[in-house]
Amino acid sequence: MARIENLLKNYEQHVTIPWSKTNAGPERVWFAVYEPTEEMRLRMRYGDFKNATASAGHEWVEIDLTNIFPEWLAAEEYKESYFDQPEDLVYLLEDLIPHIANLVKESFAAAKDPENTVFALTGVSGLFGVGRVSDLISKLEQDIVGRLLCFFPGQYSGNTYRFLDARDGWNYLAVPITSEESVY
């Protein structure tokens, strides 16, 4: 539990830092990095992150991606054929990340004060095996008006993020918020 407490404490400190309106899209992305084994503990604490955001004078919009893949596939007209020939699903998956990006952009547009809002991506582990977080962030970064907080199950080291410790990491300039002792 101490790791999630430290992550929350570091987030509380970070969210109170004044936001520059001149930051580029990639500088408006925050990754709250946590051990994948802490997923359930973290989910129980989303309300605390929301409260910390409100205490800092910002709005909070949660965008839960936990069930995004099954919901998206269920809406496909020919979904039954993919169960018969799952290898054909690879062609359909090319449309998943753009679909998710559009949903997130709709959340940006629907916010009452988007420039003062933390848009929290939760449940990104729902993309495991079907999409890459890095591809999603790339499609969103130029449209972020407030801050995009991605709750990221994996590891961070030297500007490299590894999603669920399952593949090679990628370099990204997002602001990491970790469970390490505070550096603020």
Domain assignment of residue 106, yes or no: yes
Q: What is the spatial distance between Cα 34 and Cα 8, in angstroms, rounded to a whole number?
A: 11
Domain assignment of residue 154, yes or no: yes
Domain assignment of residue 183, yes or no: no
Dihedral angle over CA of 149, 155, 159, 163, nearest 10: -70
Domain assignment of residue 171, yes or no: yes
Domain assignment of residue 160, yes or no: yes
User: Phi and psi (nearest 5°) for 153?
Assistant: -80, 110
- Domain count along the chain: 1
Can you give the pLDDT of all 184 residues of the chain as single tens digits? 599 999 999 999 999 999 998 998 889 999 999 999 999 999 999 999 999 999 999 999 999 999 999 998 888 877 677 777 777 777 778 889 999 999 999 999 999 999 999 999 999 988 888 888 889 999 999 999 999 999 998 877 777 776 666 665 555 677 888 888 655 4
Domain assignment of residue 125, yes or no: yes
Domain assignment of residue 22, yes or no: no
**Domain of 102, in residue numbers:** 2-13+28-177
